[in-house]
């Protein structure tokens, strides 16, 4: 059932768990995430970066695919189609394409400009019943070719953005997209606590969810995180399972080259990763 992120995040906040955002890249990815969410009765957010949207044939194509699968599989859990790290222009494209939610990442702008653009997009999104995520403080690492140095969010700036009425806020707390380096210092729980103290009941979002130890994830949830984004771990599981299939020469046996067979191990591997994360985040059985 397609839905915006507002109710699911309010419920997560009240219930002290986090909803998983799993980024999608193609039909197999989408099907894997939807099937696991339904099996586990978990609300779910499908993250679509601008690059992934373009790769899949544009945001309207993605929205149509998700809506059709939702109907075809009889999905009963709430499913949100959410732009990930959107630009100002990308956010309008998703509004037009009928997404149920957008993220506007204005963290690289001076705070006054981030506030102005976030305010405008919040009004535009809410007018159409969509939810909106904003960002303060950069998330480190590289995603979709965009590199940023991690930067701890300023709680005062977070409070200003939260006061615009956004539905969820991503604040940099030492988290990084992609693999965490061996010398990573860990999440700054001090920053997280300060951000939540200044933003009241605002649902906080933890980006870079891949590779964060389970204990840190649990602690972040106790401090107010109620949406966690995962991309890299699904990519790694897919690649690993596909490599094993090919290295074992299975694509050369019988009709093993059939894409439905070739992509099956990777598809199952994504399902396993999504299942593991949903259980860790505590959102299973919540829809
Ligand atoms: P990872 O790729 O590190 O899991 O991060 C995903 C993310 O934060 C998407 O916005």
CATH class of the domain defined by 6-281 = alpha beta
Q: Is 231 in the pocket of ligand 1 (CB under 6 A)?
A: yes
- The model's pLDDT over 19-41, given as tens digits with 9 standing for 90+, comes to 999 999 999 999 999 999 999 99
Confidence bin at 137 (pLDDT 50/70/90) = confident
Mutating to test ligand 1, I would choose from 5, 19, 22, 23 the residue with most ligand atoms within 8 A of its C-beta, which is: 23
* pTM for this prediction: 0.96
Query: Do 277 and 18 touch, CB atoms closer than 8 A?
Result: no
C-alpha to C-alpha distances, 80 to 33, 43, 67, 101, nearest whole angstrom? 12, 8, 10, 7
- Nearest atom (ligand 1) to Cα of 103: 10
Confidence bin at 117 (pLDDT 50/70/90) = very high
- The model's pLDDT over 27-78, given as tens digits with 9 standing for 90+, comes to 999 999 999 999 999 999 999 999 999 999 999 999 999 999 999 999 999 9
Q: Is 47 in the pocket of ligand 1 (CB under 6 A)?
A: yes
Instruction: State the pLDDT at residue 127.
Output: 97
Instruction: State the pLDDT at residue 237.
Output: 98
Give me ligand 1 centre to Cα 252, in Å. 34
Query: Do 281 and 20 touch, CB atoms closer than 8 A?
Result: yes
Section 197-217 average pLDDT: 97
In angstroms and rounded to an integer, the radius of gyration of the C-alpha atoms of the chain is 18
Q: Share the mean pLDDT of the chain.
A: 96
- Cα separation, 112 vs 81, in Å, equals 28
Domain ranges of the chain: 6-281
Give me ligand 1 centre to Cα 257, in Å. 31
Q: Report residue 108 as tokens.
A: 């690289």
**For residue 114, is it left (φ>0), alpha (ψ between -120 and 50) or beta?**
alpha
**Is residue 84 annotated as a catalytic residue, yes or no?**
yes
Q: Is 207 in the pocket of ligand 1 (CB under 6 A)?
A: yes
């Amino acid at each position: 059932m397609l839905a915006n992120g507002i109710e699911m995040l309010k419920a997560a906040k009240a219930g002290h768990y986090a909803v998983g955002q799993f980024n999608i890249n193609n039909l197999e990815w989408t099907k894997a995430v939807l099937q696991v969410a339904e099996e586990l009765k978990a609300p779910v957010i499908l993250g679509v970066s601008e690059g992934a949207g373009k790769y899949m044939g544009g945001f309207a194509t993605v929205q149509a695919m998700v809506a059709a699968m939702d109907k075809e599989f009889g999905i009963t859990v709430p499913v949100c189609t959410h732009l990930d790290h959107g630009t100002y222009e990308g956010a309008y494209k998703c509004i037009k394409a009928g997404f149920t939610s957008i993220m506007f990442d204005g963290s690289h702008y001076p705070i006054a400009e981030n506030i102005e653009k976030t305010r405008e997009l919040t009004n535009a999104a809410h007018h159409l019943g969509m939810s909106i995520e904003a960002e303060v403080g950069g998330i480190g690492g590289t995603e979709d070719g965009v590199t940023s140095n991690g930067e701890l969010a300023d709680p005062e700036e977070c409070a200003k953005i939260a006061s615009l009425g956004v539905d969820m806020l991503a604040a940099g707390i030492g988290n990084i997209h992609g693999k965490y380096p061996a010398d990573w210092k860990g999440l700054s729980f001090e920053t997280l606590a300060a951000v939540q103290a200044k933003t009241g009941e605002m649902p906080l979002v933890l980006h870079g969810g891949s590779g964060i130890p389970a204990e840190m994830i649990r602690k972040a949830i106790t401090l107010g995180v109620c949406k966690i984004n995962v991309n890299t771990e699904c990519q790694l599981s897919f690649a690993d399972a596909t490599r094993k299939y090919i290295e074992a020469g299975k694509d050369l046996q019988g009709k093993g080259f059939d894409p439905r067979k070739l992509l099956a191990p990777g598809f199952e591997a994504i399902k396993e990763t999504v299942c593991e994360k949903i259980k860790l985040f505590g959102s299973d059985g919540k829809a």
